[in-house]
Homo-oligomer: A and B are copies of this chain.
Amino acid sequence: MARRYDHSRDELRQMILDETANQIKLVGVQKISARKIAKEIGYTIGTLYNFFRDLDDLIMQLNGITLDRLHTHLNNVELNGTVEEQLTELADAYIAFTRNNLNLWNSVFEYRLVPGKEQPDWYQEKIELLLRLIEQVISPLFTHLDPKECHQSAWVLWCSFHGICTLSNAEKNNEIAMEQARTLSRMLIENYLSGLKPRIGEADSEPH
């Protein structure tokens, strides 16, 4: 039954990851099955364990890919206009991605903190990379302030977008969910940035 070199190692590894993604899209992380994944790509369970330590490892690798895809998606957004307009474009792209990849996205955050399991370093690094996209957009507002403030504001906005998407995505209907998320994120951006401006004014008019 062994069919060596039907696929290269890399091909096979990719097939496992792709099929896992398919299964998660269909039934969610909670309900995937190693046997099902193997069967679907025409191999047996054992083969999976030649590539991944265990199911958690497989899921973690896939989550990494999902984070990379999000980064690419956001990186491809054409940013035009004011800071507020650029931030809105980023938020919209983020909303669209998490909604169009609902189960994959849930997987990323459900496997964030299984107790007793270490969160790998590259997890945090990939998130920092996403954070930097926001940081770059809002940085013009912080030219006269402590750069640390820019970084922290990026964190606030990132966390808030995350919360808005997570809770909006409880809504079943695609359009309603995205519309709600867009409305809330616009309010957040408008008020948060508007709240920043008085302080920027201070910094401008009182240079030391």
Contact = CB atoms under 8 A, between A and B. Distances in A.
A70 to B, nearest CB: 15
Contact of A28 (B109, B114, B152, B158): B114
Given A152-B187, A191-B196, A196-B191, A115 B160 contact: no
Interface string A103-146: 10010011011111001000010000000000000000000000
Interface in A179-208: 183-184, 187-188, 190-196, 198
A103 B113 CA distance: 9
A112 B165 CA distance: 13
A126 to B, nearest CB: 13
Contacts of A164: 156, 159-160, 163
A195 B90 CA distance: 20
Given A190-B195, A195-B191, A195-B194, A112 B170 contact: yes
A63 interface: no
A155 interface: yes
Copies assembled:
2
Given A155-B184, A159-B167, A162-B167, A28 B115 contact: yes
A7 to B, nearest CB: 30
Contacts of A193: 191, 195
A28 B115 CA distance: 6
A153 B194 CA distance: 15
Nearest to A197: B195
Nearest to A190: B195
Nearest to A27: B115
Nearest to A56: B30
A158 B184 CA distance: 11
10 contacts: A27-B116, A28-B115, A103-B115, A153-B187, A156-B191, A158-B167, A159-B167, A159-B168, A190-B195, A195-B195
